[in-house]
């Protein structure tokens, strides 16, 4: 599971002012990755690809919080999580 500290490190955020926002984005990213990857909470915890996809989603949502192209985000996550979606792994 991605922690707040790990997300902040990935985003290179050192100040606490955005902690609440990042925590909210973390929950959104996790659920989005689970939905796009079609994985259960248990599978999510075991898949390194899900971990990486969550960090990517957090970074995308944080960077583009005012003008995010959610379609582009979902397409990228589908590509990253293809094996999980198709049951290859």
Which of 9, 40, 35 is CA-nearest to residue 22? 9
pLDDT recorded at residue 29? 97
| Distance from C-alpha of 45 to C-alpha of 63, rounded to nearest angstrom | 25
pLDDT recorded at residue 87? 66
Q: What is the pTM of this model?
A: 0.90
Mean pLDDT, each 10-residue run in order, the chain (89 residues): 95 97 97 93 91 96 93 95 74
pLDDT recorded at residue 27? 96
pLDDT recorded at residue 84? 75
């Amino acid at each position: 599971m991605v922690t707040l500290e790990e997300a902040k490190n990935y985003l290179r955020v050192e100040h606490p002012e955005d902690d609440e926002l990042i925590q909210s984005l973390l929950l959104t990213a996790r659920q989005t990755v689970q939905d796009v990857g079609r994985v259960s909470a248990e599978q999510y915890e075991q898949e390194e690809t899900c971990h990486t996809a969550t960090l990517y989603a957090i970074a995308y949502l944080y960077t583009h919080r005012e003008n995010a192209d959610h379609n582009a985000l979902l397409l990228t996550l589908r590509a990253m999580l293809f094996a999980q979606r198709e049951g290859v792994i």
